[in-house]
C-alpha cells in the first residue's frame, strides 16, 4: 500500500471582501493584480464591477464564430470570475454582461474605468487557530 502523507490543518478560513476604487481612465486589468499584490492576495473571486467603463474589449462567441468587440461608454450589468497571481502575472478569466442593446456577454480582455468604477473581489484568508 502506498504511503499517503497527511497534514493537520491548524487554520480557519475567513472570507474577506476587497473593494478597489478606480480613477477615471485607469485600466481594470492593471488595477486587479496591483491590488492583489498590495494586499498579499494570491487568488481572488471577482464578485462585481460597478460603475461605467469608458472603453471595453471583450471576446465572445456569436453562433459558431469567435469574435472580439471594442465598445465605448458601457455599463457592466454583471461580472464574475476567478483570478490568480503567479510569477508576477495574472491568470484566470472575468466574464461580463454589458447593458448594450441587445445585451452582450463575454470574457473581459481589457477595460478603461469611467466615472465611479469599483471592483469588488472576495478572497479566503487563513487564520491560525489559538489553542
pTM (predicted TM-score): 0.82
pLDDT in the model for residue 127: 80
* DSSP helix/strand/coil, 33: helix
104-126 pLDDT, tens digit each: 999 999 999 998 899 999 999 88
Could you tell me how far CA 3 lies from the centroid of its own chain?
A: 39
How far apart CA 119 and CA 65 sit, in angstroms, is 30
Q: Which cell goes with 68?
A: 472580439
How far apart CA 103 and CA 50 sit, in angstroms, is 17
- The DSSP 8-state label assigned to residue 51 in this structure reads S
**Domain covering 14-125 in this structure, CATH number:** 3.30.1330.80
pLDDT in the model for residue 59: 95
pLDDT in the model for residue 67: 93
- The DSSP 8-state label assigned to residue 27 in this structure reads B
Cell 478597489 identifies what position?
20
34-67 pLDDT, tens digit each: 999 999 999 999 999 999 999 999 999 988 999 9
Please name which of 10, 3, 26 lies closest in space to residue 113, comparing C-alpha atoms: 26
Please state the domain extents for the chain. 14-125
**Contact yes or no for 119/53 (Cβ under 8 A):** no
Amino acid at each position: 500500500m502506498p504511503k499517503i502523507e497527511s497534514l493537520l490543518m491548524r487554520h480557519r478560513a475567513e472570507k474577506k471582501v476587497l473593494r478597489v476604487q478606480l480613477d477615471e481612465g485607469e485600466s481594470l486589468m492593471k488595477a486587479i493584480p496591483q491590488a492583489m499584490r498590495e494586499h498579499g492576495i494570491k487568488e481572488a473571486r471577482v464578485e462585481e464591477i460597478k460603475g461605467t467603463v469608458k472603453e471595453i474589449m471583450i471576446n465572445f462567441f456569436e453562433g459558431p464564430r469567435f469574435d472580439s468587440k471594442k465598445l465605448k461608454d458601457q455599463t457592466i450589468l454583471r461580472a464574475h470570475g476567478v483570478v490568480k497571481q503567479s510569477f508576477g502575472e495574472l491568470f484566470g478569466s472575468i466574464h461580463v454582461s454589458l447593458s448594450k442593446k441587445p445585451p452582450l456577454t463575454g470574457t473581459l480582455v481589457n477595460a478603461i474605468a469611467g466615472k465611479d468604477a469599483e471592483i469588488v473581489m472576495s478572497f479566503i484568508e487563513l487564520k491560525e487557530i489559538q489553542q
